[in-house]
Amino acid sequence: MKDNGKKILLIVESPAKAKTIQKYLGNGYAVSASIGHLFDLPKSRLAIDIEHDFEPEYITIRGKAKILKSLQQEAGKADQILLASDNDREGEAISFHIKNALKCKYPDLNIRRIVFNEITPNVIRESIKHPGDIDQAKVNAQKARRVLDRLVGYKLSPILWKKVKNGLSAGRVQSVALKLICEREKEVENFVPEEYWSIEAELKKGKSIFRASLVKYMGEKLRIKNSNEVLKITDALKHAEFRVKDVKVSENTLKPKPPYTTSKLQQEAAIRFGFTSLKTMQIAQALYEGVNIGSGRVGLITYMRTDSIRVSGIALHEVRSFISKYYAQELPYKPNVYSVGRRTQDAHEAIRPTYVQNTPESIKGVLSKDQFKLYSIIWERFVSSQMIPAKSSTVTVDFQAKEGLFRTGSTKMVVKGFQKALKILASKERPKVLPHLSVGEKVECLGFHPEQHFTLGSPRYTDASIIKTLEEKGIGRPSTYAPIVSVLLSRYYVVRKKRQLVPTQLGRIINDLLTSQFPDLVNENFTAVMEKELDGVEENKKEWVSVIRDFYGDFIRQVEHVMETLESIKGVMDEETDYTCEKCGRPMVKKLGRYGFFLACSGFPECRNTKAVSLADCPRPDCSGKIVARRKQGGRGKEFYGCTNYPECDFVSHFRPTNLKCPKCGYFLVEKEDKQRGMYKSCINPDCAYLHTQEVMDQSA
């Protein structure tokens, strides 16, 4: 620090990060936060100069002027400014705009850029020793994405306002995700479960009792379709002698997995803990920015937006030293190396703990419950990634019983290997124990256990599976996976039901319009190619203006064509009904609102009466009411379905009615779901066990 008392000003994105770094650097530095972007495109207009190379017009974000003024005042007191926003496209753009704003006020300021992958004292101090310049290619890549998304949003939204409903909006990448979710929903709705059966024999040797499954009958693999076929087979094998036909022993090697990338962490957290992708990133952000662990604030994990599985040499040395101390027998002779995917940008390391000595148990007391869960799996995955493989031994035994071939097996772990480091990530399955069995040996059959099953269709997308699909198709990047899902939910194009993503009626209408009128825009391959183009800009291989220009020509021609030729479906949305408003006597109209269809008085705004749209007729024979969706507790409770004649009629269903009627009893069918059958439809009548079969599909066609 100089004699004049001036300091080095370091500007980061978040206050939590600033607080952590300030403790590392001491009095010679001032650390301030921009709290994200300070400049962006105005919300009220396009703000893209299409005639002059698509140049964007940035303004100070509303509410951020005070922060900018404070940073400018602090900068005026400093010898040097170090811009330390996140090391990605958005972070680079934040630094770029802050630099320009500070230079406007203080042209001679010494402004440099520093980057780091983890918030630890050594890494921060080392990065300060080697400041660099802003990466203009990254800035251009962020600019290109922002301009591209603004052009799509501001050109498509007016079509939706004019042709569908006021207040709607469309996004470039979100529309592709919406298409995937809508297509999956059609598969779910059209799927017809098929019945099939399995047969297990309960066998005994000595005191050991175990089961074996029928895998072949009459020399062929079988598909038992109904209970009658089950009875024929079990009757034929009732007095059969069970003898061991074959015993096979196989050795299996299970390799450890690499440390987490952003998408893999989001998927794991969704599957294991039920975290949404947004929640996972919020928790990871807090772990990255710093937690007070008693000895001071420390960033517990490396940067959480990454598509790389790379690990630094220092971290590799640290984790191998840790393993040699606590898991000496599981340390491989040389470090494990993992192949990098073709689409990996490799700008950051994998997500790993900053200090492997901070075991989950050692810092459990200073973490919230959810922070502990997420940190634990990050720590376990990283440590186990540098341990030896696990080895298991599987015994498979075949039994011959007349014309039936039954099979059973058991697996035991011979070498635990990397699994010694796993607790939360450890398998919860208990191994099956079999007695020693030899070829030709006879065992006693205690009976048969048939079980009914139904084929399972494609499941609805969850946060985990949609992110996995987007990643596999090359759509989006680590920083965009969580926002993609969040935007669809906030626009109410999609709702989350039991962790599943279900398109709303509004979402389906938007998707139908976009897929029919803008097939290229919502095509997964086209979107993936556009992501590569943006990567090319970041790698300085593409010029950002040319990327936008190549896209915009065909796009705007199609926009103009659709605006001129597409018929408005607003009238379709406001459908006349036979219902009469009980308040003023005028007819009720079926309208599409943000939360789906509802009935509104045609006398609006004089009469503001609204009611829910009926989903089915009340099945009670003495009732003429309709079944509508309802909620308890002022609309905030769990949705259920009840009769409009309540309290005279107390019919209630917790399953959503469909528009199909049971051909056996006339009641309506409802949507159900269980682990055995997945999504299926069955009769609401408790005295009718009718399932949704092909007969119903034919009836409704």
The reply to whether 48 and 65 lie within a common domain is yes
Dihedral sign for Cα atoms in the order 537, 542, 546, 548: negative
Q: What was the pLDDT predicted at 689? A: 63
Lowest mean pLDDT among 212-226, 281-295, 339-353, 476-490: 339-353
Q: pLDDT tens for residues 25-47?
A: 988 899 999 988 999 999 889 99
Give the whole-angstrom CA distance, residue 47 versus residue 58. 8
Give the whole-angstrom CA distance, residue 428 versus residue 620. 46
Q: What was the pLDDT predicted at 322? A: 97
Q: What was the pLDDT predicted at 169? A: 87
The reply to whether 49 and 77 lie within a common domain is yes
Chain centroid to CA 298: how far?
28
Lowest mean pLDDT among 106-115, 390-399, 538-547, 682-691: 682-691
The reply to whether 273 and 369 lie within a common domain is yes
Alpha-helical runs (H) found in 191-254: 227-236
Q: Is residue 581 part of a domain?
A: yes
24, 58, 260, 303: which one is catalytic? 303
Query: What percent of the chain is modeled with pLDDT above 70?
Result: 92
* pLDDT of residue 699 exceeding 50: no
The reply to whether 516 and 495 lie within a common domain is yes
CATH number for the domain spanning 339: value is: 1.10.290.10
Lowest mean pLDDT among 122-131, 227-236, 457-466, 632-641: 632-641
Q: Is residue 2 part of a domain?
A: no
> What's the mean per-residue pLDDT of the chain?
88
The reply to whether 514 and 658 lie within a common domain is no
Q: What was the pLDDT predicted at 413? A: 92
Q: Is residue 1 part of a domain?
A: no
Give the whole-angstrom CA distance, residue 687 versus residue 619. 13
Q: Is residue 45 part of a domain?
A: yes
Q: What was the pLDDT predicted at 691? A: 64
Do residues 455 and 250 touch, judged by C-beta distance below 8 A? no
* Whole-prediction pTM: 0.82
The reply to whether 335 and 320 lie within a common domain is yes
The reply to whether 513 and 600 lie within a common domain is no
Query: What percent of the chain is modeled with pLDDT above 90?
Result: 62
CATH number for the domain spanning 90: value is: 3.40.50.140
Q: Is residue 359 part of a domain?
A: yes
Show the tokens assigned to 409.
Answer: 């097996």
Three-class HEC string of 388-438:
CCEEEEEEEEEEEECCEEEEEEEEEEEECHHHHHCCCCCCCCCCCCCCCCC
616 DSSP β-pair partners: 627
Q: Is residue 642 part of a domain?
A: yes
SS3 content of the chain, % helix, strand, coil (to 5): 35, 25, 40
Q: pLDDT tens for residues 231-278?
A: 999 999 999 999 999 999 999 999 999 999 999 999 999 999 999 999
Q: Is residue 479 part of a domain?
A: yes
Neighbours of 62 (CB within 10 A): 9
Burial of 425 (0-12, 13-18, 19+ CB in 10 A): middle
Give the whole-angstrom CA distance, residue 599 versus residue 573. 11
Q: pLDDT tens for residues 341-351?
A: 655 555 678 99
* pLDDT of residue 646 exceeding 90: no
The reply to whether 343 and 365 lie within a common domain is yes
Q: 417: pLDDT confidence band, cut at 50, 70 and 90?
A: very high
Residue 29: domain span: 7-134
The reply to whether 448 and 466 lie within a common domain is no
Radius of gyration of the chain (CA): 31
CATH number for the domain spanning 423: value is: 2.70.20.10
Q: Which of 530, 545, 565 is the last residue of a domain?
A: 565
642 versus 232: which is more confidently predicted?
A: 232
Instruction: List all residues 6 or more positions away from 336 whose beta carbon is below 8 Å from its beta carbon.
Output: 256, 385, 386, 387
The reply to whether 424 and 487 lie within a common domain is no
For tokens 């770094």, the residue is: 21
Q: What was the pLDDT predicted at 539? A: 92
Q: What was the pLDDT predicted at 480? A: 86
Give the whole-angstrom CA distance, residue 240 versus residue 232. 14
Residue type, 351: I
Average pLDDT of 47-55? 95
Q: Which of 545, 565, 585 is the last residue of a domain?
A: 565
Q: Let me know if 303 is a catalytic residue.
A: yes
The reply to whether 168 and 272 lie within a common domain is no
Average pLDDT of 502-511? 90
How many structural domains comprise the chain?
Answer: 5
Q: Which of 536, 565, 594 is the last residue of a domain?
A: 565
Q: Is residue 237 part of a domain?
A: yes
Give the whole-angstrom CA distance, residue 230 versus residue 449. 10
Q: What was the pLDDT predicted at 346? A: 53
* pLDDT of residue 694 exceeding 50: no
Lowest mean pLDDT among 104-113, 419-428, 559-568, 596-605: 596-605
294 versus 178: which is more confidently predicted?
A: 178
The reply to whether 129 and 235 lie within a common domain is no
Instruction: List all residues 6 or more positions away from 213 whose beta carbon is below 8 Å from its beta carbon.
Output: 198, 199, 200, 406, 407, 408
